[in-house]
Amino acid sequence: MSMAPPLKIRDPKQFGRVGLVIGGDSAEREVSLNGGRAVSAALERNGIDCQVFDGPQVLFDAIGRGEVDRVFNLLHGPGGEDGSLQGALQLMHVPVTGANLAASALTMDKVRSKWIWERNGIDTPPFECFGPDDDGYTRALDRFGLPLFVKPTGLGSSIGISRVAAADQLEAAVALAREYGDWVIIEAGISGKEYFAGVLGRMTLPLIRIETPRAFYDYEAKYESDETRYFCPCGLPEDQEAELRARSLKAFDILGASGWGRVDFLLDATGKAWFLEVNTTPGMTDHSLVPQAAAVLGIGFDELVWRILETSL
């Protein structure tokens, strides 16, 4: 039995004609296609009138023909999670799941979202950012020491991210990150366990803790490895988990996010939480975290998809 609030809609016809947009041309395309297959099947099982579109342009063409009433967005990364899709749909007066234009753009920008967190008392690993003509990245090494994490500033799914454990690895790590954008962020390495807080409406889902034999929770650990272990319940005392879930929702709200999403953070040995990022369109593959956490509350995959679609109301 689900422990979530009552559904807002009972009749699938009230959603009208739904356009599920997946794929696109970002580096996270394959993750989106994989999750899209699962979401499409769930929409069909729920009796929802749905068409699947690979990328925004074919979706826009269908909207222009009057074939789509609302959009279920499962595009990850640039073009779908950065506000551009949301802005276009806003101009077309077509509702879409998840965060709005401003929040989508902000959460996709690791630098500016971390600046806002710092200003509002949300702890995040200290960092340096580097533009396209800035090759002085050794200043991050001088400031933070090792290890370091090198990341593109506007991508998810851990694509382009490296953990730098030796100084001679830094140049290659920066080169990899620059393959996915001109701006690079270098964070101080924080030692701790990785936790994830799913958000659905105004409800935070049970925390998930992960363990991986890899250096960090990278793309392979997320989507390919069978050795990644997921713990939900996460093993924290109930009062500590409740406080961390509340802080995760605050971190989500401060960036203006809404609808659904996921907040990622590290918990160090002293119990201090270091917030990493907010994902406004999390993965929906068989390895994904939000479906796992929802299931602990009795929310099956089909119901989760229904509730995400309700965020477009």
CATH number of domain containing 156 = 3.30.1490.20
Kindly state whether residues 183 and 195 are assigned to the same domain.
no
Identify the domain containing residue 28 by its residue range: 12-97
Same domain, 168 and 276: no
Question: From CA 238, how far away is CA 244, in angstroms rounded?
Answer: 10
pLDDT digits (tens, 9 = 90+) for 157-210: 578 899 999 999 999 999 999 998 889 999 999 999 999 999 999 999 999 999
Other beta carbons within 10 Å of 149: 22
Where in the sequence numbering do the catalytic residues fall? 28, 157, 223, 262, 264, 277, 279, 283
303-312 exposure pattern, b = at least 16 Cβ within 10 A, e = fewer: bbbbbbbbbb
Contacts of 194 (CB under 8 A, 6+ apart): 209, 210, 216, 217, 264, 265, 266
Among the three residues 188, 203, 233, which one is the final residue of a domain in this structure? 188
294 and 281 inside one domain: yes
Encode burial over 232-255: b for 16+ CB neighbours within 10 A, e otherwise.
bebebeeeebeebbebbbebbebb
Distance CA 227, CA 167 (A): 29
User: pTM (2 decimals)?
Assistant: 0.92
Pair 207, 251 in one domain: yes
272 lies in some domain: yes
Shared domain for 65 and 211, answered yes or no, is no
- Model confidence over 249-303: pLDDT tens digits? 999 999 999 999 999 999 999 999 999 999 999 999 877 999 999 999 999 999 9
Question: How many domains in the chain?
Answer: 3
Residue 300 belongs to a domain: yes
CATH at residue 249: 3.30.470.20
What are the Cα distances from residue 263, in Å, to 5, 13, 45, 105, 249?
A: 21, 32, 29, 16, 8
Phi, psi of 54 (to 5 degrees): -95, 95
pLDDT of residue 151: 92
Over 80: is that where the pLDDT of 98 sits? yes
Q: Are residues 77 and 181 in the same domain?
A: no
Q: Closest by alpha carbon to 137, among 192, 106, 178, 179?
A: 178
- In this structure, are 116 and 233 located in the same domain? yes
- pLDDT attached to residue 224: 57
Q: So what's the pLDDT on residue 220?
A: 62
What is the rounded average pLDDT of the residues 104-120? 96
- For residues 232 and 272, state if they share a domain: yes
Cβ-based burial of 23 (10 A; exposed 0-12, middle 13-18, buried ≥19): buried
Q: Which amino acid is at 85?
A: L
Residue 157 falls inside a structural domain: yes
264 with 291, same domain: the answer is: yes
Q: Tell the residue number behind the tokens 């807080």, with chain if given.
A: 197
Is there a single domain that holds both residue 87 and residue 181?
Answer: no
Q: Are residues 115 and 264 in the same domain?
A: yes
